[in-house]
Structure 1
């Protein structure tokens, strides 16, 4: 028998399929995202969000009815359905067709005037000075409560929820931790994401699909650390608040593949800001817009917190319901101790998400837990 020096096994080989450098169909984008170390938001020919491709393999597809986004489904068997309620968006999560739980996205329909970056310093000073001049008597009249109503601590799982931002005003220091826009530099934010092995360490590319079904890169790329830093500087807002909110709202910072929150991640509603729009490219959603508008809203809420003597009463939290679970009653109101805490409850009016009970999670309890796990008590 003639020997040609070739083994049988060498006749059969496989090589990894490489993603196209210039994908033309959406089916090619997930592998492209993985190989190029990018995240992708794909919009359709009408400018509505169609799909997300995350660098670590998660793919999300959005669905609409009568021009409104009604659900999203990922390639890991998870689905989210969205229903607009009075002052929030109810999200029902499913896995392989089975309902798991309900929770809420913050619905931020409040409108505030634009403030130029150079004007913030004077406005901040006026806000803090005005708050320090108010008296307790005028405070009680302004919020319309009876004289017999007194402050009470509000605990969730041993955590005091009345003061989420120690060092926030009213204060005599002339500074407020909640709006400390210098707490992290851009490079520190990027290093933070890299150390967490977060998908936010990688860029987000914006792609479009034309009427023929072909996809193309719009050449718009967003680096999350830069977007967060720029928003913090523009609106003079603490970037740590933004990062903790990204994790609280959409598990974008540190949800690893296989974790419970992995399939709950959505770039499109990253900050939960304006989570009732129709999914438009020019709407209130999209990652960079979410970062900028969500950061601005936090600052606007800080400006609009009551300039009275604290603590003051904040009503209608937890969907307006008082509930008892495992012998603990969670009331539908809370006394808040400062501007920053008031702003957090205005942004997310939940001490915890009662829809998860008896599991204790969600709401500002999650914000506080996330913040503490990342930075302890360091707001600077």
Structure 2
């Protein structure tokens, strides 16, 4: 999978801190001044899944390998970014290369960490970033239409329709509803291909102080009230950064002492995984228990190809059992003895949590 999520927001909201915690090491510079990040930092991050740990225990696997997600730390945007202010054009081009926006919003007070607008106002901050993305889209669409005005294609109609839509300040959901008689997935894919940012899926991360993460604060409540239909995840990035050098079990226990029931950044990553339409299937044996990333709707040969192209090209069948049945049977051998292992063909759509073993022929490659 080559899909990626990017951490986007104003300067000094905690994007680089979050990225460092996700990577479990200091990759991105985190400083108290705007634009300490210029070039995007990138990394492949494991998506923790307790199901894999459970499979590993049953089969006594020597190691566990989690599925991964590509993450990008993008420099902070400022007002006027769509006009090139604050290296805006460069940073917007970085956003065009990702598939999901994780919008980090400052929801904490601090006299030590400056705010680019002098005060903490998460709703204003979100509106500002979203407005800059729309302004950038308007410019891209106007230029594209001008360059291709002689075309008599569906693309020119899509471009004019979406330009009219965002100029009227209508939501993406409204655009999809207005065009439900058309292939909106195809339209969205095409708009993304020409660099339209407002069609990218997104959710919000409210970065709070460690003292307020348990019960929330007014900034978090204001953000949720302003965007009631959006996903807003509270985290205490600085706290998680301070604890990240600890062993994993100690790290989780310490967070629980602060009232954090679920590690914020694990939640952020699993949410990103779902927003991108990704799922996991598992392979398990004595050497390893491993999760593999696929797009929702992948058929068995496509899923097999994620492991190796030979599995796809020489696909015979998939031996499949759901995670729940595997756990209930307490292992592969008992499951097989009970007749719970199914043989599925090339049209089988792999489900999230399937435990798979692929049968295939090794095809001779032409000399």
Structure holding more helix per residue: 2
Instruction: Give the structure-1-normalised TM-score.
Output: 0.23
What TM-score do the two structures reach when normalised by structure 2? 0.24
